[in-house]
């Protein structure tokens, strides 16, 4: 199933929202399944990135322009060589959702219950809004 995912950090200055197309192997029937599938896809992409190492990293002019539009130009290096634990990553994402660290919107409707039936259509847009905690000293 092809979906489009947009992630927004409220604490970021740039309001650039990048819509990324993802392909899920199954059709999620609940919000819990959707979060699990998106986390699984991200863990798989990180594992693939860790295993494919370029001898001499370089960026083409097109890649520089695309990354410049999103606000960060880099080689995409992964400095942590440990493979992530999928079960722990899914658990962390679910707990973060339950604790209110991010919200999920599907077709502009907020989804707040992990277990209610979910209807997804091909090429639906899903928006994840992450809330950033303020950091600072109290003294």
pLDDT recorded at residue 68: 75
Taking only the tens place, the pLDDT of each residue in 23-59 is: 998 999 999 999 999 999 989 887 777 666 554 566 7
**What beta strand segments (E) does 38-124 contain?**
102-106, 109-111
Cβ neighbours for 34, distance < 8 A, ≥ 6 positions apart: 28, 104, 118, 120, 126
List pLDDT tens digits, range 52-108: 655 456 677 887 777 777 666 766 555 666 777 899 999 999 999 999 999 999 998
Q: Is the pLDDT of residue 134 over 90?
A: no
Burial class of 59 by CB neighbour count within 10 A (0 to 12, 13 to 18, 19+): middle
Separation of alpha carbons 57 and 76, rounded Å: 9
Residue 61: closest CA among 50, 73, 52: 73
More reliable by pLDDT, 18 or 78: 18
């Amino acid at each position: 199933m092809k979906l489009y995912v947009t992630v927004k950090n409220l604490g970021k200055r740039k309001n650039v929202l990048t819509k990324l197309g993802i392909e899920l192997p199954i059709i999620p029937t609940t919000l819990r399944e959707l979060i699990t599938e998106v986390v699984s896809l991200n863990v798989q992409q990180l594992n693939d990135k860790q295993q494919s190492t370029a001898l001499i990293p370089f960026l083409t002019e097109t890649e520089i322009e695309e990354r410049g539009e999103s606000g960060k130009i880099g080689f995409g290096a992964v400095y942590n060589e440990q493979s992530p634990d999928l079960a722990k990553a899914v658990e962390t994402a679910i707990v973060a959702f339950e604790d209110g660290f991010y919200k999920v919107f599907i077709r502009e409707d907020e989804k707040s219950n992990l277990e209610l039936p979910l209807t997804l259509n091909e090429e639906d847009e899903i928006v994840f809004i992450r809330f950033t905690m303020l950091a600072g000293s109290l003294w």
